[in-house]
Amino acid sequence: MTDSEILSIKQRFGIIGNSASLKHAIEVAAQVAPTDMTVLITGESGSGKESFSKIIHQLSARKHGKLIAINCGAIPEGTIDSELFGHEKGSFTGAHEARKGYFEVTDGGTIFLDEIAEMPLGTQARLLRVLENGEFIKVGSSKVQKTDVRVVAASNVDLQSAVTDGKFREDLYYRLSTVPISVPPLRDRGEDIVLLFRKFSSDFSEKYRVKPIQLTENAQAVLLEYRFPGNIRQLKNLVEQMSVLEMDRTINADTLRKYLPPDYRSVPMLYKKATDRAADVSERDILYKVLFDMKQDVTELKKLVFQLLSSDQDEQLLQKHKGLFKNLEEESDTQTYILSNGNQPDNKVGYEDSEDTGSNDDLIEDITHETEPDDSLSIEKKEKELIIKALQKNNNKRKYAAQDLGISERTLYRKIKQYQIDE
């Protein structure tokens, strides 16, 4: 395609720009237009995808037929089938009369399906049948109807990723992307940004009957550096604001920066993947985990000191303070049990308050008293003893005993049956 032909298309459809990527997209649209092939237009929101659907329709043999643009994301999921394929009278609540859908009304024309990724999976199956056989069925009907409609679809998301995530049908994706057209984002079009600025400035000067605004060289440099996440739509809105609000019609860099919002897409952000509510970790759970980790570290430290004191030269020192180390194994077992059951730390489970204000000798005596040798260090036995004590303390009222133990009443009932505890 010659440059003059591309220029003619740009003038006819109001497309501004000279970037190579834009020219390539126009060439592909012009070449595929005379055919009836399905076209998939991809590009960021606001990059001008709808203009290419007009090029395809107007340069095709269907130019005398209708061109209907439908935003799939703007139609509720419960009514999109009715909108696209029509419905029979009484087919659902509120269907007081039969209605023709867009595929019936646009017979012989072109339908532009914008934001195709937002289309529900059930509707995608219906659309695939239209593309494959030219057939559809109205909602509430069993009669198969024929239609001759060309489909041009557009998406601002990666449909291949949507297919991988199970949100878009793979067979429909390959059927739509017979001829893909990629519309470049505004930030990749170089000097086209300045040309578009001048075009919008001229348009708004006529609309509001004011002198058109102009940019200084420094302001142009700022404009070219900005990424424009909203693309052409954002640039047009920016020019309109300044055309109305600025008294000085020459815009410098500082003035321009006041109208440019931060580009959050270029700033690194923490991302939290969506998870089930049950998998969320509360601050309380984190705090408990930190406390238990600290307790475990203290236990490990005591083991290390025990090993050091076990040497021959420190045997006398070990005998003097051996009460500190008699319950190391019990502490480790009890701590493991609590962590596995998600209970809160409690002195009743065998932990001593580390902030004892008494002397070291008193502390040794207390610990030794609490950790007298037992016949068994079984976790099940300790758990059974705790349950019995809690029941006795609360006069066999399971609700309050469960609260003391930090478990649910249902879990307590199961434990009572498991250990055959007589209440």
Burial class (CB in 10 A: 0-12, 13-18, 19+), 357: exposed
Q: What is the pLDDT of residues 191-203, one digit of tens each?
A: 999 999 999 999 9
One-letter amino acid for residue 40 of the chain: L
pLDDT given at position 308:
65
- Taking the CA atoms of residue 85, residue 86, residue 88 and residue 92 in that order, the dihedral angle to the nearest 10 degrees is 90
Burial class (CB in 10 A: 0-12, 13-18, 19+), 245: exposed
Q: What is the pLDDT of residues 173-196, one digit of tens each?
A: 999 998 999 999 999 999 999 999
Number of domains in the chain: 4
CA distance 78 to 92: 11
CA distance 238 to 278: 44
pLDDT given at position 361:
42
pLDDT given at position 348:
41
User: What is the domain extent for residue 259?
Assistant: 187-266
Both 63 and 173 in one domain: the answer is yes
Both 16 and 156 in one domain: the answer is yes
In the structure, what pLDDT confidence band is assigned to residue 382 with cuts at 50, 70 and 90?
A: confident
Does residue 281 form part of some domain? no
Both 76 and 196 in one domain: the answer is no
Above 90 in pLDDT, residue 331? Answer: no
Does residue 131 form part of some domain? yes
Note if the pTM is more than 0.95. no
pLDDT given at position 371:
42
Q: Which of 132, 151, 184 is the last residue of a domain?
A: 184
Q: Which residues pair with 70 in a beta bridge?
A: 113
Both 18 and 160 in one domain: the answer is yes
Above 90 in pLDDT, residue 64? Answer: yes
Both 385 and 368 in one domain: the answer is no
Q: How many helices (H) and strands (E) does the chain have?
A: 19, 9
pLDDT given at position 326:
55
Q: If we measure between CA atoms, which residue out of 367, 339, 368 comes closest to residue 354? A: 367
Both 290 and 315 in one domain: the answer is yes
Q: What is the pLDDT of residues 98-127, one digit of tens each?
A: 999 999 999 999 999 999 999 999 999 999
Q: Which residues pair with 110 in a beta bridge?
A: 67, 150
Structural contact between residues 382 and 371, judged by C-beta atoms closer than 8 angstroms: no
Q: What is the pLDDT of residues 128-164, one digit of tens each?
A: 999 999 999 999 999 999 999 999 999 999 999 999 9
DSSP run (H or E) holding 162: helix 159-164
In the structure, what pLDDT confidence band is assigned to residue 372 with cuts at 50, 70 and 90?
A: very low
CA distance 176 to 173: 5
pLDDT given at position 327:
56
Looking from the CA of 82 toward its CB, the CA atoms found within 13 Å total: 18
CA distance 178 to 224: 34
Total length of the chain: 423
Q: What is the pLDDT of residues 255-301, one digit of tens each?
A: 999 999 876 544 444 444 444 444 444 566 666 667 777 777 777 77
CA distances from 44 to 35, 50, 234, 261, 263 (A): 26, 12, 12, 18, 15
Both 161 and 14 in one domain: the answer is yes
Residues with Cβ within 8 Å of residue 96, at least 6 apart in sequence: 89
**For the chain, how far is it from start to end, CA to CA, in angstroms?**
92
Does residue 274 form part of some domain? no
CA distance 318 to 347: 26
Domain with residue 169: its CATH number is 3.40.50.300
Structural contact between residues 238 and 232, judged by C-beta atoms closer than 8 angstroms: no
Above 70 in pLDDT, residue 337? Answer: no
